[in-house]
Amino acid sequence: MEDVRLHWVAVGLGAAALALLAAGLAARSGEVLGWGLAAIGAEYAVHFSAAGRALDEVTPVYAAAFVLVAELAFWSIEPRVAAWSEPGLIERRLVYLTATSAAAAGVAAAVLVVASASGGGGVALEAIGIAAAIGAFVLLAALVRRSLPEVDSRS
């Protein structure tokens, strides 16, 4: 019964993700696209709540597709600027997308390998995991803060 309810929750999240992505593309809004991508991730999380404990070996493919969807979505809402005098722009972009998706699959696979190698886990391992997550979050926040808008009055 719980599986059926979670199934419908996942379907609902999937529909919401589609709607939010469509709205984000139509409105050219990065924030709305972000909510759509978060809904896709949430759908995946609900899917695993209903599944068993075995590692999903398709996760690297899913990660690659997830990153590809995100990149394509943000590419779609970039301002349209004429680039007819720049040959090779599209080709370079496609190479970049391919490389990014492949890298995402690689990173996801590496995480799964580490996770499977750790076996049952344990409190110590979980603590390490929490510390790694917090550390990553802090690092990211610091990097984002460094990238906040600033004005260079010299130039």
Beta carbon nearer to another protein, 15 or 103:
103
Question: How big is the site for another protein, counted in residues (CB under 8 A)?
Answer: 63
Based on the shown chain and the rule CB under 8 A, indicate whether residue 2 belongs to the binding site for another protein: no
Return the residue of 1, 2, 4, 85 that touches another protein, per CB under 8 A: 85
* 130: nearest Cα among 121, 141, 120: 121
- Residue 47 burial by Cβ neighbours in a 10 Å radius (0-12, 13-18, 19+): middle
Instruction: Pick from 86, 120, 123, 124 the residue near another protein by CB under 8 A.
Output: 86
Please say which residue, 19 or 77, places its beta carbon nearer to another protein.
Answer: 77
Give CA–CA dist 127/121, Å, rounded: 10
CA atoms within 13 A on the CB side of 19: 6
Rounded to the nearest 10°, the torsion over CA 63, 51, 44, 134 is -80
Q: Which residues bind another protein (CB under 8 A)?
A: 29-31, 33-34, 37-38, 41-42, 44-45, 48-49, 55-56, 59-60, 62-63, 66-67, 70, 74, 78-79, 81-86, 89, 92, 96, 100, 103-104, 107-112, 115-116, 129-130, 133, 136-137, 139-141, 143-144, 146-152, 155
